[in-house]
Structure 1
Amino acid sequence: MANRTNQLVVPQARTAMEQLKYEVAQELGIQLPADGYYGNMTTRDMGSIGGFITRRLIQIAEQQLAGRF
């Protein structure tokens, strides 16, 4: 069975991912809790944030790949 963890491959990327999460939440008009506890957030809101982060990361990767060739 595969060991599935949410550890970043590049630990230094954690701050960039946190910043991206806050940027996306702001764009969507979703207020993130100041205390960092996400237990009161709706699944719909958190899923929206995660989906937009994924789209943004794919867009960044596509742009980087387009610039290489």
Structure 2
Amino acid sequence: MSQNSGNSNNLVVPQAYGALDQLKYEVAQELGIAIPQDGYYGNMVTRDTGSIGGSITKRLVQIAEQQLAGRF
């Protein structure tokens, strides 16, 4: 996730870019999907990029649920 990837999504905590980028590579590796080293995703299959994004979202929700459960 480059900081200027052309999308309109802005992180609330800009320092999170590194952690999200690492998570992207971890999820892709778990799914057996190769991330282009040049950062250009135009040649990737939409299903693969969607799988990575969906898995990242699922994992972030799980982390948030665990943190909330620990508060009560």
CA distance, structure 1, for counterparts of residue 42 and residue 32 of structure 2: 18
Q: TM-score, normalised by structure 2?
A: 0.89
Larger Rg, first or second structure (1 or 2) = 1
Q: State the Cα RMSD in Å.
A: 1.1
Residue aligning to 2:71: 68
In percent, how many aligned pairs have the same letter? Answer: 77
Give distance in 2, aligned partners of 1:5 and 1:49: 19
Aligned to 2:3: none
1:14 paired to 2:48: no
Which residue identity is paired with 1:26?
Q
Q: How far apart in 1 are the matches of 2:42 and 2:11? A: 22
Task: Find the counterpart in structure 1 of residue 32 from structure 2.
Answer: 29
SS of aligned partner of 2:8: coil
Runs of 4+ in 1 over 3 A off after TM superposition: none
Q: Could you list the runs of 5+ residues in structure 2 that have no partner in the other structure?
A: 1-6
Q: Which runs of 5+ in 1 are unaligned?
A: none
1:5 aligns with 2:13: no
